[in-house]
A and B are shown apart, each in its own frame.
Chain A
Amino acid sequence: MASVTLDDVTKRYGEVVAVDHMSLAVEDGELMVLLGPSGCGKTTALRMIAGLEDATEGTIRIGDRVVNDVEPRHRDVSMVFQNYALYPHLTVEKNIASPLLAREMHVDGEDGAVRKLSRTERKERVNDVARLLGLESLLARKPSALSGGQRQRVALARAIVARPKVFLMDEPLSNLDAKLRVQTRGEIVDLHQRLGTTIIYVTHDQVEALTMANRIALIEAGRLQQVGDPQSVYDRPANLFVARFLGTPPMNTVEGTITTTGGLGVRIGGVTVSLPPTPGDSRTNDGKTEARASASVGRIEQGRPVVLGIRSEHLQMLGGAMQEGGSSEAAQVASGFEPLLTGTVAHVEWLGHESLVTVAIGSGPPGARDGGTGSGAGSSVAITSSMPTDAVIGTGDSEGGDVPGSRTTIEVRLGADEQSPRAGATVTLFADPRHLHLFDLASGQRLAWDTHLQAAASR
């Protein structure tokens, strides 16, 4: 077991920068997930740790040893590949045994000594691992006679049998069907708990990352965006990329400008959404998360272009079929939160345990009540998505609303017991202000407004 440290590591292929000055410390025994869209450099980072690619710059350490110039086989790591990479002409038994044939191993009871294993020792280890993964009955088969899940298990067995310091897993579940993926996910977590070995796990699947990881490292365009435990990266995304990449559906984002008249708020179209103090935001820098601090982003000041983010599950909705009283005061009382925006229900997706309601902002009939702090002029909130996509980082993964000229849509998640509105109904959206996220439009960085609030208020 060992820690893995990347120190300012860069990988270039000619002009292309695959990994850009990445520094990452994976702790001993940790399950670290490298998460990002395809082509973001996460696999390249993994392959550099394995020794299959050379780092152009920077230092890679496994434990205390700098391994930049160490051959893959001497790094004491095992890797599980996306396509399993089993030797098709060898039986399961020989596939599992293959790392034992050529590599020198630590042997039980022989302190620190490394040597090749004897035939009986190899057989013993293969049998142990086969038992651990339930492969005993398959040992004599060739990989072609196995199902996808069984092949994946053989690949895992081959990685485990060498008892490496670090497991590297490159999207190991992506070739399995959905059900098997969930099952194998659990098995890997279980294995990690039993073996206690450091695992670095690459995936583009945020569900895998959130469910399996001790910590997640989010990567985009070769750069590390944020590192933290699943909850902290989900709750406190460091920038727009992370905010939009994590969560299904992605976080709703709406462009606006900062206003400081009558308290801090964001002006979106004709309405102002007020930003009350958020005591929780100081958690950003508590050491658990390594979110890039917002200090460098600058001051929150009047007129500054920002992006307001809110997750679908943090929105509540009144209006349409549900609206009885029709007054926003009643709605406010009902939800306990401040009205945020008004819009028209575009469509409703019923998923059984929940419903996803897509609300088109700004398509409500004239005169619909807008929320806010009273500064609203009574017009409907008209936000055409004028967001220049190149000005906002990480827009590629947000769904809907980013096409120039289209309307901004917001997704709202309703519980199974909540009544869904009809399509076309006018609704008002409410949110607990503590769940509002604010990002700088130009840089995409998270803005922690509570620290700026006092300054703004004391002016």
Chain B
Amino acid sequence: MSAVPASRTQVHHVARRARTAGWYLLLTALAVIILFPIYMMVVRALSTPVTYFGRGSPLYPVDVEWGVFRAAWDEGGIGRSMGVSTVATLLMTGGQVVTAILAAYAFAFLRFPLRRLVFVLFIGTLMLPIEVTLIPNVQTMRDLHWLNSFPGLVGPFLASALGTFLIHQGFRAIPTELLDAASLDGYGHMRFLTRVAVPLSKPVIASFTVIAFLGAWNQFIWPEAVSTETHWQTVQIGVAALSATTPDHSNIAFAGAIVASLPLVVLLVAFQRQLVRGLTAGAVKG
């Protein structure tokens, strides 16, 4: 071995390490930028507001008061609104998953006139922001006397174009021979759906379930519009209401926000893989 290629390899090696180090530096910086507000939320929740501001808003908690979480839960009404949110979120998630599976199945496996057009229109509703449909939908809820009720909170969100699209992609990855084999085996559509299509598409369905749960839990505009009574506030509305109180109690608002986000943190940690896969969906399953 001559010295020249050896040193070349070394140069190459160093360059690669430098590049890796650069990437890590960048990623660390990004992580800090993203995590800093969350850290500050914890600092503000734990610090008594008056003392904190007196110390000139430091980057660490002062005069730590742990009872603030309890206060947010009870007096702040976060406990009650979390109950409302939990029920509404479970209903919406369940509803979306079931209807998305059924709709996706129809689009993927049934032949009916104008199927492509209907599918495109259906998926096109993804483009509509909630604000567009807000006023007519609220009017409908009022006409149905569904304001301040679970049907009102969840009704318009029992179906999902995104879920239909994602699960449709998953179903399309199922070889058509399986459908042929199943129809010779005597499977009807319902049996094929439950015994073959859904079990084979578990990863996408799991991903969409997580996405649907996140979306439902984080809803703000809609529950704000249809729950006029405090009793029907969801947790996001509750947190917003808390933060609107006097600055003396801002620590309670921050504590409420932390409590409200805990279920999501748990969910993210538990279902990280499904979530990432869902976001990169389309390339589902081999």
Taking CB atoms, residues of chain A closer than 8 Å to B178 are 85, 87
Contact present for B181 and A79 (CB under 8 Å): yes
- Cβ < 8 Å to A, chain B residues 178-208: 178, 180-188, 191, 195-196, 199-200
Q: Nearest chain A CB to B241's CB is how many angstroms away?
A: 47
Contact present for A85 and B200 (CB under 8 Å): no
Contact present for A83 and B175 (CB under 8 Å): yes
Contact present for B181 and A85 (CB under 8 Å): yes
Q: Nearest chain B CB to A132's CB is how many angstroms away?
A: 19
Interface status of A50 (Cβ within 8 A of chain B) = yes
Taking CB atoms, residues of chain B closer than 8 Å to A50 are 180, 184
- Cβ < 8 Å to B, chain A residues 36-95: 47, 50-52, 71-73, 77-79, 81-89
Question: Given A73-B186, A77-B184, A99-B185 in contact, is the A89-B200 Cβ separation under 8 Å?
Answer: yes
Docked pose: A89 CA to B195 CA in angstroms: 9
Docked pose: A83 CA to B183 CA in angstroms: 16
Q: Tally A residues with Cβ within 8 Å of B.
A: 26
Interface status of A102 (Cβ within 8 A of chain B) = yes
Closest to A159 in B: B184
Question: Given A85-B177, A85-B178 in contact, is the A79-B184 Cβ separation under 8 Å?
Answer: yes
Contact present for A81 and B181 (CB under 8 Å): yes
Closest to B178 in A: A85
Question: Given A83-B175, A83-B177, A87-B178 in contact, is the A99-B184 Cβ separation under 8 Å?
Answer: yes
Docked pose: A99 CA to B178 CA in angstroms: 13
Docked pose: A99 CA to B185 CA in angstroms: 4
Closest to A98 in B: B185
Interface status of A435 (Cβ within 8 A of chain B) = no
Contact present for B184 and A102 (CB under 8 Å): no
Contact present for B180 and A81 (CB under 8 Å): yes
Taking CB atoms, residues of chain A closer than 8 Å to B188 are 102
Interface status of A125 (Cβ within 8 A of chain B) = no
Contact present for A87 and B196 (CB under 8 Å): yes
Docked pose: A82 CA to B178 CA in angstroms: 11
Interface status of A103 (Cβ within 8 A of chain B) = yes
Contact present for A89 and B199 (CB under 8 Å): yes
Most A CB contacts (10 A, CB to CB) among B181, B183, B188 go to: B181
Docked pose: A71 CA to B189 CA in angstroms: 13
Docked pose: A83 CA to B179 CA in angstroms: 13
Question: Given A88-B200, A89-B200 in contact, is the A103-B180 Cβ separation under 8 Å?
Answer: no
Encode A385-427 as 1/0 by CB contact (under 8 A) with B. 0000000000000000000000000000000000000000000
Docked pose: A79 CA to B179 CA in angstroms: 12
Question: Given A83-B175, A85-B177, A85-B178 in contact, is the A52-B183 Cβ separation under 8 Å?
Answer: yes
Taking CB atoms, residues of chain B closer than 8 Å to A79 are 180-181, 184
Contact present for B196 and A85 (CB under 8 Å): no
Q: Which of A52, A89, A103 contacts B185 (CB 8 A)?
A: A103
Q: Nearest chain A CB to B227's CB is how many angstroms away?
A: 42
Most A CB contacts (10 A, CB to CB) among B175, B184, B187 go to: B184
Docked pose: A87 CA to B178 CA in angstroms: 7
Contact present for B177 and A81 (CB under 8 Å): yes
Docked pose: A77 CA to B180 CA in angstroms: 12
Taking CB atoms, residues of chain B closer than 8 Å to A85 are 175, 177-178, 180-181
Question: Given A85-B175, A89-B200 in contact, is the A103-B181 Cβ separation under 8 Å?
Answer: no
Q: Nearest chain A CB to B209's CB is how many angstroms away?
A: 18
Closest to A155 in B: B181
Closest to B174 in A: A88
Docked pose: A52 CA to B182 CA in angstroms: 11
Closest to B285 in A: A88
Docked pose: A85 CA to B185 CA in angstroms: 12
Question: Given A73-B185, A83-B175, A102-B187 in contact, is the A52-B200 Cβ separation under 8 Å?
Answer: no
Closest to A81 in B: B177
Contact present for A102 and B196 (CB under 8 Å): no
Docked pose: A85 CA to B199 CA in angstroms: 15
Encode B36-62 as 1/0 by CB contact (under 8 A) with A. 000000000000000000000000000
Taking CB atoms, residues of chain B closer than 8 Å to A84 are 177
Contact present for B186 and A102 (CB under 8 Å): yes
Taking CB atoms, residues of chain B closer than 8 Å to A77 are 184
Encode A113-156 as 1/0 by CB contact (under 8 A) with B. 00000000000000000000000000000000000000000000
Taking CB atoms, residues of chain A closer than 8 Å to B184 are 50-52, 72-73, 77-79, 99
Q: Nearest chain B CB to A1's CB is how many angstroms away?
A: 18
Taking CB atoms, residues of chain A closer than 8 Å to B181 are 79, 81, 85-87, 158
Docked pose: A445 CA to B188 CA in angstroms: 47
Most A CB contacts (10 A, CB to CB) among B175, B177, B185, B199 go to: B185
Most B CB contacts (10 A, CB to CB) among A51, A81, A84, A85 go to: A85
Contact present for B183 and A73 (CB under 8 Å): yes
Contact present for B180 and A102 (CB under 8 Å): no
Docked pose: A219 CA to B183 CA in angstroms: 27
Docked pose: A103 CA to B186 CA in angstroms: 5
Docked pose: A72 CA to B185 CA in angstroms: 8
Closest to B199 in A: A89
Most B CB contacts (10 A, CB to CB) among A47, A52, A103, A158 go to: A52
Closest to B198 in A: A89
Docked pose: A349 CA to B178 CA in angstroms: 44
Docked pose: A414 CA to B64 CA in angstroms: 99
- Cβ < 8 Å to A, chain B residues 187-239: 187-188, 191, 195-196, 199-200
Question: Given A87-B196, A89-B200, A102-B191 in contact, is the A72-B175 Cβ separation under 8 Å?
Answer: no
Docked pose: A71 CA to B164 CA in angstroms: 29
Q: Nearest chain B CB to A143's CB is how many angstroms away?
A: 11
Taking CB atoms, residues of chain A closer than 8 Å to B182 are 98
Taking CB atoms, residues of chain A closer than 8 Å to B175 are 83, 85
Q: Nearest chain B CB to A126's CB is how many angstroms away?
A: 13
Closest to B200 in A: A89
Contact present for A52 and B187 (CB under 8 Å): no
Taking CB atoms, residues of chain B closer than 8 Å to A87 are 178, 181, 195-196
Apart from A72-B183, A79-B181, 8 more pairs, CB < 8 Å: A47-B180, A51-B184, A52-B180, A77-B184, A87-B178, A102-B186, A102-B188, A103-B186
Could you pull out 26 A-B pairs where Cβ atoms are within 8 angstroms? A47-B180, A50-B180, A50-B184, A72-B184, A73-B186, A73-B187, A78-B184, A81-B180, A83-B175, A85-B181, A86-B181, A87-B178, A87-B181, A87-B195, A87-B196, A88-B200, A89-B199, A98-B185, A99-B184, A101-B185, A102-B185, A102-B191, A103-B185, A103-B186, A104-B186, A158-B181
